[in-house]
Amino acid sequence: MIHFNSHRLSNGLRLIHHYDASTSMVAVNLLYDVGSSDEAPTMTGLAHLMEHLMFSGTKHVSKFDEMLQRAGGDSNAWTSIDVTNYYDVLPAHNLETALWLESERLLNLNLTHENIEVQKSVVIEEFKQRYLNQPYGDVLHLTHGQAYTVHPYRWPTIGLDVDTIRLFSAADIKQFHDRFYSVGNLVMCISGNVDFDTAVRLVEKWFGDIEGMPHHQRHLPEEPPQLESRFMTHHSDVPNNMIFRCYHMCSRTSPDYPVTDLISDVLSNGMSSRLYQQLILGTDMFADIEASVMGSRDPGLFYVRARLAGDASFDRASSAIDTVLKQLIDEGVTQHEIDKCVNKYLSNKLFENVGYAEKAVALCSHQLLWGADGINSENESYRAVKPQDIAAVAVNLFAPNNCNAIYYGPDA
């Protein structure tokens, strides 16, 4: 059980507080409800570029990180398809420094031509290193572009191409910042050795007089049902042939999400899982294979990734995967399999949220999805899953018309 308090400022900012007396530190986590899915199709990569620009300094603070480091702190951030998350970790008695700096870069970000061009270069270099010049680096572009036809999940967070990033204007960036970076679009968590009253007082001091804007309401295009399977080959000079499959699945807030998540665990979580036992140990066609879920705000994807061994053919390996999935649908799973996976999930969740900084991220994420109390109640939704639930979800999840497949590699 994670204990927390909450407070909402009059301007709309949502504050979550968790007290931890075991540390002398504090984490300030700021989750802005904006991700790459909020970009226009002609402006992809802007949310991620904005994340980088938030570290470029303000009108009154030339170097954000340097000022935080003087207070004994550190910071970082990440962007996803749904959200952008910033966090600061520093000694608890210097909490006010972090709140001052965060309010400063929310209000007075220094979007000069020089800062913009520097961060464009950094992001473009990241694009080249991680996506263009890396083996299998273009997989997200291929798989999501194949699975989604209208929804903005069809492009990855980095964007579709480097040329679009190069052409962003200062006006484009400022408009994006003004639209999404507001207190009404922000969830903040303060976690560590600071009491609730102090946290509220300092947040009110540094954020309370910032003009509020309504929480951004999304109207994203709904992805239509997939009526037939999709298949493509992609020739690339990479070390191994690989099979990538994506199946449309539910959203993170759907009652079917815990069921779908457990299906991925039954298939590939550990050496006793079905894919490991039947395909890694039971055949000589696979070097490794895994299943995972997307866990996104809108309906996402269920992934199956297989790296083929030796001269194993794509078609034989694909047929072997189909056999395992069909067996799961036709014969179902046992309660023992479910219980084993649920226990692993609960154990992993406990370790993931062991620290005050990890709790800060998790509390913000749950608050944005369905309320911070979900961090404690979600465990029960996993414990409640039964074999018949797995069967009901699996038959639609692995329906042939729901499959997007790519043969990727030197023999494709």
Distance CA 116, CA 126 (A): 15
Q: Give the structural domain span for 348.
A: 230-409
User: Is there a single domain that holds both residue 201 and residue 255?
Assistant: no
- Do residues 149 and 15 share a domain? yes
Residues 250 and 285 in one domain: yes
Of the candidates 176, 207, 238, which is a domain's last residue? 207
Same domain, residue pair 157 and 248: no
> Could you identify the residue written with the tokens 């979800």?
393
Q: Does one domain contain both 186 and 317?
A: no
Same-domain pairing of 295 and 347: yes
- Find the helix packing angle between 46-53 and 170-180, rounded to 10°: 90
**Checking phi first, is residue 178 left (phi over 0); if not, alpha (psi -120 to 50) or beta?**
alpha
Answer yes or no: are the C-beta atoms of 70 and 219 closer than 8 Å.
Answer: no
Tell whether 249 is covered by a domain.
yes
Decide if 162 is inside a domain: yes
| pLDDT higher than threshold 90 for residue 216 | no
pLDDT score for 285: 98
pLDDT beyond 90 at 173:
yes
253-268 average pLDDT score: 98
pLDDT single digits (tens) 371-380: 999 999 999 9
* pLDDT at site 354: 84
Q: Helix 46-53 crosses helix 113-127 at what angle (to 10 degrees)? A: 120
Q: 19 and 111 share a domain?
A: yes
CATH for 346: 3.30.830.10
Q: Does pLDDT of 213 surpass 80?
A: no
The answer to whether residue 222 is domain-embedded is no
- Residue-wise pLDDT for 293-309, tens only, equals 999 999 999 999 999 99
Instruction: Answer yes or no: do 141 and 183 share one domain.
Output: yes
Rounded to the nearest 5 percent, the helix, strand and coil shares of the chain are 45, 20, 35
At 353, is the pLDDT very low, low, confident or very high (cuts 50, 70, 90)? confident
Give the pLDDT confidence score for residue 256 in this predicted structure: 98
Predicted pLDDT at 110: 93
Q: Is residue 305 part of a domain?
A: yes
**What is the tally of structural domains in the chain?**
2
Residue 352 has pLDDT above 90, yes or no: no
* Residue 82 near residue 300 (C-beta atoms within 8 A): no
Residue 17 maps to a domain: yes
The reported pTM is 0.95
Distances (CA, A) of 153 to 140, 150, 291, 344: 10, 8, 19, 29
The answer to whether residues 27 and 164 belong to one domain is yes
- 294 shares a domain with 164: no
Do 405 and 284 lie in a common domain?
A: yes
